[in-house]
A and B are shown apart, each in its own frame.
Chain A
Amino acid sequence: SAVISQKPSRDICQRGTSLTIQCQVDSQVTMMFWYRQQPGQSLTLIATANQGSEATYESGFVIDKFPISRPNLTFSTLTVSNMSPEDSSIYLCSGKGLAGVPQETQYFGPGTRLLVL
């Protein structure tokens, strides 16, 4: 299996500021994703992080608000820009396509808990 870590684990931020979340996978994965889990709700896919190119965003999410980088097969960052209280959420990194396991099995990081005041 893959172990995915995220930094920071939690943060409290002021509105109007930006926060960059880091995601590190201990093995190479072909695909990485960023999800949001708002309070009391399930997970919603924000975007697919593509290595060396622009991320693919889901409807309702845009690059200016959630810029994403993926410089290699084990690392990605998500920035939450110009934050408002509505951005308070858990942000989860995910990866799949790990060698030696069923390719569709998806692994998740522990999440970053963000509170915007």
Chain B
Amino acid sequence: KQEVTQIPAALSVPEGENLVLNCSFTDSAIYNLQWFRQDPGKGLTSLLLIQSSQREQTSGRLNASLDKSSGRSTLYIAASQPGDSATYLCAAKAAGNKLTFGGGTRVLVKP
């Protein structure tokens, strides 16, 4: 059974610092891994999707890496801004259609 863990559960940084969010999964037989952002009252927004054959994906200030052999993914957010404050969730997809979500990291970027 796949288990996805995100540490730390919460993170507070001053504006301008780079953010590093960690995600680990127990079953390396994944098809892809997605990172989402969840804002209060607004559901989830897909940020990046990394296929199992890929090592990283980049979108603007966001970069996500994937190391299947070690069961880890990392989301980097460069030059953080107060608008980056949200909860970030990673989710691993194995065979079938089920996404297994981590518990999330709640991020606060202080001006």
What are the residues of chain B within 8 A of A104 when measuring CB–CB? 31-32, 34, 49, 51, 93
**Could you count the A-B residue pairs with CB atoms below 8 Å apart for me: how many are there?**
48
On chain B, the number of residues with a Cβ less than 8 Å from chain A's Cβ atoms is 22
Assess whether B41 is interfacial by the CB under 8 Å rule. Answer: yes
Q: Annotate B35-53 by CB proximity to A: 1 below 8 A, 0 otherwise.
A: 0100001111110010100
What are the residues of chain A within 8 A of B103 when measuring CB–CB? 41-42
Within A36-77, the residues touching B (CB, 8 Å) are 41-45, 48, 58
Contact assessment for B104 and A111 in the assembled complex, using a CB-CB cutoff below 8 Å: no
Within A1-51, the residues touching B (CB, 8 Å) are 4, 9, 31, 33, 41-45, 48
Determine the main DSSP class of B at the interface with A: strand
Q: Which of B34, B44, B49 contacts A92 (CB 8 A)?
A: B44
Interface size class for chain A?
A: 20 to 34
Contact assessment for A107 and B46 in the assembled complex, using a CB-CB cutoff below 8 Å: yes
Assess whether B109 is interfacial by the CB under 8 Å rule. Answer: no
Contact assessment for A31 and B89 in the assembled complex, using a CB-CB cutoff below 8 Å: no
Q: Which of B31, B34, B102, B104 contacts A106 (CB 8 A)?
A: B34
A21→B69 CA distance, assembly (Å): 40
A108→B101 CA distance, assembly (Å): 13
Q: Which of B31, B44, B98 contacts A58 (CB 8 A)?
A: B98
Residues on B facing A (Cβ under 8 Å): 31-32, 34, 36, 41-46, 49, 51, 89, 91, 93, 97-99, 101-104
Can you list 30 A-B contacts with CB-CB less than 8 angstroms, sorted by A residue number?
A9-B41, A31-B97, A33-B97, A41-B103, A42-B89, A42-B103, A42-B104, A43-B44, A43-B89, A43-B91, A43-B99, A44-B101, A45-B98, A48-B97, A58-B98, A92-B43, A102-B49, A104-B51, A105-B34, A106-B34, A106-B46, A106-B99, A107-B46, A108-B43, A108-B45, A108-B46, A109-B43, A110-B43, A111-B41, A111-B43
